[in-house]
Amino acid sequence: MMAKQTKLLYLIGFWAAIVAFVGAVGYIVSAFLQVFNVVGPLQDSFIGYGTSLLIPVPFLLTMLVLHYIIPAEKKFWTHTAIAFAIIYTTYNTLNYVVQLATVLPAGYTWTFANQQGTVGPLSLLNQTPHSLFWDMDGLGYIFLSLSTLFAFPVFENHGLQNWLRWFFIANALIIPLFAIVYFYPGYSVPQLFLGLPWGITVPGSMLLLALFFRSKYA
């Protein structure tokens, strides 16, 4: 019975990591669509927030699976990682649902040329640069990075696990870049591109984590 339960955990972890990977790649695609004006602001926002919504809960599930499969002496690290992942999941899920369910259906958008965005009764909810939900989004991703920072010690220093260690560490090292992208005065395309390492560290971490879980239940 225990072996079956453990195998189920690995299976949950695998699919959760895959969904988070797909969401992260989708967000990166939406960022390039925005910069190169491939689609309109409203369509791009639906793509960006919709794919981003695929990341938080699956990411939290991967941290929970890690917590239940590692030895007891390492559980402090995953417990801390889960705490930070919960903050990330709460902030960003709230943000994306508000944008997708309330802001975008009402036609509220913003562009680099018009960073104030649509003016109206829902302006406070619109995630424009340096708005309430903008800061919430930035803080959420910082807590995601802190989660991987505390989770990396649970992996061994060899093979696939060693790659996971370094990707998790790299994802934590980009916190200063996030701080600049989200909280430096003003906002521009060069600032957006400062966040590009995220497009490697997060999808890479989730893909490697999926492969790690897959190797355990295969």
Domain ranges within the chain, ordered by starting residue: 2-217
The reported pLDDT for the residue numbered 4 is 75
Q: What's the pLDDT score for residue 218? A: 67
Q: How far is CA 16 from CA 74, 104, 190, in A?
A: 22, 27, 32
pLDDT in tens, 81-105: 999 999 999 999 999 999 999 999 9
Chain mean pLDDT for the chain = 95
The pLDDT, as a whole number, for residue 101 is 98
Q: Which tokens go with 168? A: 């998790």
Angle, helices 198-217/2-35, rounded to nearest 10 degrees: 160
Tell me the Cα Rg of the chain: 18
| Three-state DSSP state, 196 | coil
Which two tokens mark 197?
Answer: 């390492």
Alpha-carbon span 54 to 6, nearest angstrom: 24
Tokens standing for 113?
Answer: 């040329």
Segments of the chain with pLDDT less than 70: 1-2, 218
Question: What was the pLDDT predicted at 1?
Answer: 45
The whole-number pLDDT of residue 135 equals 97
State both tokens at 127.
């995630």
